[in-house]
Structure 1
Amino acid sequence: MNRVYCAIGRIACYGLAILTLGCAQPQPAPDTRAADEAAIRKAEADWSKDTATKQASAMAAYYDEAGSVLPPNAPIATGKEAIGKVWEDMFALPGFSLHFESSKVEVARSGDIGYSEGSYELQMNDPKGNPMTDTGKFVTVWKKQSDGSWKAVTDIFNSDLPVPPPPK
């Protein structure tokens, strides 16, 4: 009889242990947002610096395979080849020089997506060949890649300069 009670007691203990484990809450993933935000800031700083190379392929490397750039006064360019063409066209501007920097970077708690916003300064020559400076702003949506790096999935920018009046 004692054996029966011992067996029942063991079964009850095992059942209680299984129930307790089954009710345990999953542990949240570690919060890596600060490190991820720093990684995006670094990627963006490298990207800005790399514009001096004027190599479209180097610029396209900062984008996800399915990434898009939404330049002003032009259609959306999706995919690295189309994005490279947008950068080629910008690099072809006489007097081209570009610097951009984020003022805000945020990463979702999930740690797989984030965004940056900031400003840029673009130097180029106007149609008469005179140097001019355009300032503007941008928003870039970033996606964490399987290797832990961050790539742009959407990049949009536009000028702060007033729209010129229509020709008379």
Structure 2
Amino acid sequence: MPLQKLILRVPVLLCAVLPCAAHAQIRLDPSHAAAPSTGTPLTQPTLSPGALELLTLDGQFSQSVAKGGGAGFASWFADDGIVLNNGKPPIYGHARIAATATWKPDAYQLTWQPEYAQMGPSADMGYTWGHYEGNSKDRNGNPVKTSGRYMTVWKKTPDGKWKVALDASADEPPAAGDCCKLPNP
């Protein structure tokens, strides 16, 4: 079997950090280099050490949010970090992000699954993106689910720690054919 078709299992260490990686596979296939596959989380044409580092960070970020809710979310942002939520104004700076990210994990569960990562050439900045889901209840106790895509831009601070420079999200696109339907009279 040629090396470019070799399928490697994600190391057990990564599986402990990234809950979604338990059965993920990484494909080494240069023919897919122009567009990453989104069929299987963490599947991309090549997995550089930098991309692996960013995927690990993304998994740690997710675990912090699962345990700490909004406080866990805010703790990952750089002092000059930015949050861009779908349909809402930008939130600038760690202090403002922390002031607005006040949800508790028992009231709102935010989870996500990375689908791709890329480290910049200087290895001090990169990004991850994937799919997120938010679960809560309305005031009547009915389940409310949101979902969409996210992108997180990571930067290494002067002290060597990785922080979130920008986190952006967008709702799922409408299902095929739903965008042009008129309501029934």
1:31-42 matches, within 5 Å, as 34-42=48-56
**Alpha-carbon deviation of 1:76?**
0.9
Q: Can you list the C-alpha shifts for 1:79-99, whole angstroms capped at 9, x where unaligned?
A: 1111112321xx169841111
Corresponding residue of 2:144: 132
- Counterpart secondary structure, 1:59: helix
Q: How large is the Cα RMSD of the aligned pairs?
A: 2.6
Corresponding residue of 1:27: none
- Counterpart secondary structure, 2:110: strand
Corresponding residue of 2:127: 115
2:114 counterpart of 1:102: yes
Aligned in 2, Cα 1:81/1:138: closer, same or farther, shift over 3 Å?
Answer: same
- Partner Cα separation in structure 1 for residue 111 and residue 120 of structure 2: 26
Q: Quote the sequence identity (%).
A: 25
Aligned in 2, Cα 1:130/1:55: closer, same or farther, shift over 3 Å?
Answer: closer
Question: Which structure's CA Rg is the greater one?
Answer: 1
- The answer to whether the Cα contact below 8 Å between 1:135 and 1:161 also exists between their aligned partners in 2 is no
- The answer to whether the Cα contact below 8 Å between 2:70 and 2:104 also exists between their aligned partners in 1 is no
- Partner Cα separation in structure 1 for residue 149 and residue 100 of structure 2: 17
Higher helix proportion (structure 1 or 2): 1
Corresponding residue of 1:23: none
> Which contiguous aligned blocks of 4+ residues in structure 1 show a shift greater than 6 angstroms?
none
- Partner Cα separation in structure 1 for residue 77 and residue 110 of structure 2: 18
- The answer to whether the Cα contact below 8 Å between 1:94 and 1:125 also exists between their aligned partners in 2 is no
